[in-house]
Chain A
Amino acid sequence: MPRCHILGCPVLSPAELTSSRNHLGRLISHGRGHFPGPEAVGTRTVHFPAPAGDRLGRRSSSKRALKAEGTPGRRGAQRSQKERAGGSPSPGSPRRKQTGRRRHREELGEQERGKAACEGRRKRDERASFKEQTAAPKKEKEIPRKEKSKRQKKPRSSSLASSASGGESLSEEELARILEQVEEKKKLIATMRSKPWPMAKKLTELREAQEFVEKYEGALGKGKGKRLYAYKMLMAKKWVKFKRDFDNFKTQCIPWEMKIKDIESHFGSSVASYFIFLRWMYGVNLVLFGLIFGLVIIPEVLMGMPYGSIPRKTVPRAEEEKAMDFSVLWDFEGYVKYSALFYGYYNNQRTIGWLRYRLPMAYFMVGVSVFGYSLIIVIRSMASNTQGSTGEGESDNFTFSFKMFTSWDYLIGNSETADNKYASITTSFKESIVDEQESNKEENIHLTRFLRVLANFLIICCLCGSGYLIYFVVKRSQQFSKMQNVSWYERNEVEIVMSLLGMFCPPLFETIAALENYHPRTGLKWQLGRIFALFLGNLYTFLLALMDDVHLKLANEETIKNITHWTLFNYYNSSGWNESVPRPPLHPADVPRGSCWETAVGIEFMRLTVSDMLVTYITILLGDFLRACFVRFMNYCWCWDLEAGFPSYAEFDISGNVLGLIFNQGMIWMGSFYAPGLVGINVLRLLTSMYFQCWAVMSSNVPHERVFKASRSNNFYMGLLLLVLFLSLLPVAYTIMSLPPSFDCGPFSGKNRMYDVLQETIENDFPTFLGKIFAFLANPGLIIPAILLMFLAIYYLNSVSKSLSRANAQLRKKIQVLREVEKSHKSVKGKATARDSEDTPKSSSKNATQLQLTKEETTPPSASQSQAMDKKAQGPGTSNSASRTTLPASGHLPISRPPGIGPDSGHAPSQTHPWRSASGKSAQRPPH
Chain B
Amino acid sequence: MGGSGSRLSKELLAEYQDLTFLTKQEILLSVYVVLAPHLVDDEQQARSGNEHTGRPIAENTDSSPLSTRAHRRFCELLPQEQRSVESSLRAQVPFEQILSLPELKANPFKERICRVFSTSPAKDSLSFEDFLDLLSVFSDTATPDIKSHYAFRIFDFDDDGTLNREDLSRLVNCLTGEGEDTRLSASEMKQLIDNILEESDIDRDGTINLSEFQHVISRSPDFASSFKIVL
Contact = CB atoms under 8 A, between A and B. Distances in A.
B18 to A, nearest CB: 6
B91 to A, nearest CB: 14
B214 A854 contact: yes
Interface in A696-711: 698-700, 709-711
B103 A413 contact: yes
B175 A404 contact: yes
Chain A's interface: helix, strand, loop or mixed, by majority?
A: helix
Given A436-B195, A712-B222, A859-B145, A823 B204 contact: yes
Nearest to A393: B219
B143 A398 contact: no
Interface in A373-430: 388-389, 391-392, 394-395, 397-402, 404-415, 417-419, 422-423, 425-426, 429-430
A698 B54 CA distance: 11
A573 interface: no
Nearest to A701: B50
A202 B20 CA distance: 10
B13 to A, nearest CB: 10
A401 B196 contact: yes
Given A206-B18, A429-B176, A398 B209 contact: no
A548 interface: no
B192 A400 contact: yes
Interface in B143-159: 143, 145-146, 149-151, 153, 155, 159
Contacts of A192: 18-19
A426 B226 contact: no
A433 B188 contact: yes
A408 B226 contact: yes
Interface in A236-265: 241, 244, 247-248, 251-252, 257-259, 261-262, 264-265
A540 to B, nearest CB: 34
B98 to A, nearest CB: 14
A694 B214 CA distance: 37
A413 B105 contact: yes
Interface stretch (B65-73, B75-83, B125-133): B125-133
B23 interface: yes
B76 to A, nearest CB: 25
Contact of A855 (B108, B130, B145, B172): B145
Interface string A1-44: 00000000000000000000000000000000000000000000
Interface string B87-100: 00000000000000
A428 B162 CA distance: 25
Interface string A842-877: 000000000100111111011011001100100000
B219 A398 contact: yes
Scoring A257, A392, A862, A872 by chain B CB atoms within 10 A of each residue's CB, the highest score goes to A862
Contacts of B132: 199
**Interface bin, chain A:** 35 or more
A927 interface: yes
Chain B's interface: helix, strand, loop or mixed, by majority?
A: helix
A410 B228 contact: yes
B195 A395 contact: no
A200 B188 contact: no
A595 to B, nearest CB: 50
A269 interface: yes
A846 B218 CA distance: 20
B42 interface: no
A248 B24 contact: yes
B133 A198 contact: yes
B184 interface: yes
A353 interface: no
A409 B184 contact: no
Contact of A405 (B18, B143, B220): B220
Interface of B: 14-15, 17-21, 23-25, 50-52, 54-55, 57-58, 61, 102-109, 117, 119, 127, 129-130, 132-133, 136-138, 142-143, 145-146, 149-151, 153, 155, 159-162, 168, 171-172, 175-177, 179, 182-184, 188, 191-192, 195-196, 198-200, 202-205, 207, 209-230
Given A194-B142, A198-B130, A711-B225, 7 more contacts: A251-B23, A259-B54, A262-B52, A405-B213, A410-B228, A709-B222, A857-B145
Interface of A: 189, 192-196, 198-200, 202-203, 206-207, 241, 244, 247-248, 251-252, 257-259, 261-262, 264-266, 269, 388-389, 391-392, 394-395, 397-402, 404-415, 417-419, 422-423, 425-426, 429-430, 432-433, 436-437, 698-700, 709-712, 819, 822-823, 851, 854-859, 861-862, 864-865, 868-869, 872, 922, 925, 927-928
23 contacts: A193-B136, A198-B117, A198-B130, A200-B119, A200-B129, A388-B224, A391-B219, A395-B220, A397-B219, A398-B219, A399-B199, A401-B199, A402-B216, A406-B227, A410-B228, A411-B226, A422-B177, A433-B188, A819-B202, A823-B203, A865-B159, A865-B161, A868-B161
